[in-house]
Structure 1
């Protein structure tokens, strides 16, 4: 089974101020956020890693998940390039945290925020257009 693709994490944050690696200290307002990521193999393991509280701080999302929790996950089998395409499409219509998750990317962010239903429905719709 090919366990690669892109995924979205729907995250609820109660509001917190945290240091996020090289991005420095960031303020996260209470509300819902969506993180777009990819895994070229072992996507299910990557998602399970994100859900764990105890882990080495490796990615920007690891820092946010110390004070926030994942409430839903959506994944599709898609190429790595689709991760950037999805992030670009979401950046056109949703607020985002500049630079978050985008260290190795040409997009402004991989973390978006807004009203839960509207944001999550848009994410799923955009991701479906990438599915293999």
Structure 2
């Protein structure tokens, strides 16, 4: 299966993190939603995000060295809709400038809120607004799910 995904991430403490080409980025303590595409397939992309032992390649890899993925939302689609989802999230949440969006014109693909419930509900609503079928998983049990 291929399509788009959202990682719902918790950062337990405020910190500055060196994020590849972005340089030093300040992250507040709280919850983040990251929008990505897996047009080559979910399994390898998401398993990479869940691994801690990797050489950072993408912006999200640097954040995940300090943060924890709490849940994953996936939507099977052939269409490139991650920018539409990012735009919907940008209307509701603080964007981390240029994060994850170096290959498009979006201001960001990473969004922040201090609380878990709003970022989770906002992420689900953004995906459902595109009439996509949504599957949501706890990150701890994701490996047991065939995606």
TM-score bracket, shorter-length normalisation: over 0.9
Contact 2:101 2:108 in 1 (8 A): yes
**Unaligned 5+ runs, structure 1:** none
Aligned to 1:22: 21
**Normalization by structure 1: what TM-score?**
0.93
Aligned pair count reads 130
Aligned to 1:31: 30
Aligned to 2:9: 11
Displacement over 4 Å in runs of 4+: none
Once the 2 structures are TM-superposed, how far is the Cα of residue 90 of structure 1 from its aligned partner? Answer: 0.9
Q: Which has the higher helix share?
A: 1
Aligned to 1:95: 94
- Cα distance in 1 for partners of 2:67, 2:15 equals 8
The DSSP-based 3-state class of the residue aligned with 1:124 is helix
**Unaligned 5+ runs, structure 2:** 134-147
- Cα distance in 2 for partners of 1:47, 1:92 equals 26
**Normalization by structure 2: what TM-score?**
0.84
Report the RMSD for the aligned CA atoms in angstroms.
1.2
